[in-house]
Amino acid sequence: MPELAEVDYFRKQWNSGLGLRISRVTTHPWTRVYRDCDPVDLVASLAGNRLVHSETHGKQMLFRTDRSGWLGIHLGMTGSLSWTTQVDFDDGYAHLVLQTSDGWLIFEDLRQFGRVLFEVNSEPPSWWSNLPPEIMDVEFSFDYFQTLLRRRLGAQLKPMLLMQDLFPGIGNWMADEILWCARLAPSRRVRSLHLAEVRTLHQKIHWVAKRSLEIVGDDWGEFPDAWLFKHRWKDGGNCPKTGKPLKRERIGGRTTCWSPSWQQ
């Protein structure tokens, strides 16, 4: 489910628990989400702490504790974060639950493609400090964008936009939305782009990311009908620009939705 804007939405779902003492930590310790950290150590280290700060970087989330704990959560394909005050919440897929005085912070993930990272240190862990510039950052300039493309001349646009070390936070639907906005066919190779097309692509990457964050916002807002997003999910959708049928095909191993007469 989650790409950049949705990840930031889920991060904010845990705001209600910031500053509260964690009285109890429970995990499903055998699951795949703990492939890169020790859940026993996590439970022991986190109990008694307070989450004091949260931020996102692309699809990665970070929660810091008042005792130098760094909790990283990636939502994978089906992960979500929630806050509940109901004692009898369904914890069937809850891999991590932090109990506080006022309620429970929950990380669920049905398919377990998500992951939990944790360490205690005064310095940020390498998985947080060694991250590329974000799309919305001033560092993500047109010059920087061009240097990224120069090393990916043979790549198709769609799979390239999904590379997280280049474009943190872009996922399958955002990549399609960006290419649709830029009027570029997803199978185009980077080396075929003219300068004007590279400029448009850079602008649309920024624009789609910014608008997505605004639209999803704090309340999981609806995307406008004028977006590809509202028409892409199943066969039979029509392009909001041309009214013609959208095409769905596999490009770079992922289902890609695009509008052939609109995108070249």
Partner DNA sequence: ATGCATGTTACATG
Partner DNA sequence: ACATGTAACATGCA
Residues lying near DNA in the complex (CB under 7 A) are found at 1-3, 6, 31-32, 58-59, 74, 76-77, 110-113, 151-156, 159-160, 162, 164, 171-173, 190, 233, 252-255
What is the 8-class DSSP label of residue 144?
Answer: H
3-state secondary structure of 174: helix
Q: Provide the minimum distance between the beta carbon of 191 and DNA in the complex, in angstroms, as a whole number.
A: 8
Residue closer to DNA by CB (options 49, 256) is 256
Q: Provide the minimum distance between the beta carbon of 52 and DNA in the complex, in angstroms, as a whole number.
A: 25
Rounded CA-CA distance 248/233 in Å is 9
165 close to 192: Cβ distance less than 8 angstroms: no
Q: Provide the minimum distance between the beta carbon of 153 and DNA in the complex, in angstroms, as a whole number.
A: 5
φ and ψ at 64, to 5 degrees? -105, 145
Residue closer to DNA by CB (options 70, 173) is 173
Mark 3-29 as b/e (b = at least 16 C-beta within 10 Å).
bbbbbbbbbbbbebbeebebeebbbbe
Residue closer to DNA by CB (options 89, 93) is 93
Which two structure tokens, joined as six digits, stand for 26? 């429970």
Q: Provide the minimum distance between the beta carbon of 48 and DNA in the complex, in angstroms, as a whole number.
A: 30
Residue closer to DNA by CB (options 6, 119) is 6
Residue closer to DNA by CB (options 98, 170) is 170
Q: Provide the minimum distance between the beta carbon of 115 and DNA in the complex, in angstroms, as a whole number.
A: 7
Residue closer to DNA by CB (options 23, 255) is 255
Which two structure tokens, joined as six digits, stand for 164? 């997280």
Q: Provide the minimum distance between the beta carbon of 66 and DNA in the complex, in angstroms, as a whole number.
A: 28
Complete edge-to-edge strand list for the sheet that includes strand 60-65: 51-57, 60-65, 69-74, 115-120
Residue closer to DNA by CB (options 18, 163) is 163
Q: Provide the minimum distance between the beta carbon of 16 and DNA in the complex, in angstroms, as a whole number.
A: 23
Say if residue 257 is exposed, middle or buried (CB neighbours under 10 Å; 0-12, 13-18, 19+): buried
Rounded CA-CA distance 163/146 in Å is 15
Rounded CA-CA distance 38/46 in Å is 12
